[in-house]
Structure 1
């Protein structure tokens, strides 16, 4: 007999105080639409959020909506939101973002920091403040200690960890070549 699949349920609660008129309006909409109050509120929020956008200075002609920032990964969501001043990131959010950017191989697919390595972020994010503390406490003696700790966490999760510290690729030796020398005529 097959096991019943776990159903993703609602895990967050919101408690709000309503005046009697607003409560009546919610009940009215709920009955009118044949939805429970939670669904009415969720859909109203989605509709309102879909009308709000922010402009990315790099791409001002393409405004971003909430979908640009949403991710099932808590860490990816938090990092996206912390990047944008419109969301008034706190000092702690900015600190986590700065740490992730400095230790980019643990969070991003490339040095351009455009694509997250979600499988790494999901393992590391619940302990992000611990890794930042390791960095702060040990940077004078071992600047790379936080990266080593993150490597350990990833290996414990059966993931191959990125190279750390990053070793610069050797530059070609010798005098610069003239590009014309490489083009056959």
Structure 2
């Protein structure tokens, strides 16, 4: 049982492999020795210092936030925060996931704008997001309700009730239609 619990716990840290030329390696080791720190601690502090001073700016070049604006302990919240801001240059995969989340917003958020995310739902659904996206790609043309049904089952099996995905008196078919599709005349 103890080993089973250990496997389910998220890692407290992750390993990163980097290539350094001999001069950079020496400089890093020198700073670590001088400060009485590990190489890892020197790198962590340098990255945090740089990240603290790296700001996203608005159209007038005023700073609107740094990495702390996007950080959250919840993987799903972090991913949605990053994918929602074009200034962070989301990847195609992140944009595809965001599109899925926007279409199925009621499972992930209390509002269509994704301003108030449903943390409990994200804890349950996010570990399966890649599988859900694969199912969405495969079924969206023939069975648009497939993923919604699957997410309802996942949430129900985790002990959450219909309130966790209810979309303020909207029926399934209405919230599975992307609002931008409604204006296309064909």
For 1:1-185, what aligned pairs fall within 5 Å after superposition? 10-56=12-58, 61-160=62-161, 161-163=164-166, 167=170
Distance of 1:152 and 1:32 partners within structure 2: 56
User: Shift of the alpha carbon at 1:96?
Assistant: 0.4
RMSD across aligned C-alpha pairs, in angstroms?
Answer: 2.6
Distance of 2:138 and 2:11 partners within structure 1: 40
CA contact (8 A) 2:104 2:148 kept: yes
CA gap 1:106/1:56 in 2 versus in 1, 3 angstroms: farther
Distance of 1:8 and 1:145 partners within structure 2: 30
User: Shift of the alpha carbon at 1:11?
Assistant: 2.9
State the aligned residue count: 162
CA contact (8 A) 1:135 1:144 kept: no
CA contact (8 A) 2:51 2:66 kept: yes
CA gap 1:88/1:113 in 2 versus in 1, 3 angstroms: same
Gaps of 5+ in 1: 1-5, 169-185
The structure where helix makes up a greater share of residues is 2
1:95-154 deviations in Å (ceiling 9; x for gaps): 100110111111112233212111111211121122223333333443222111101111
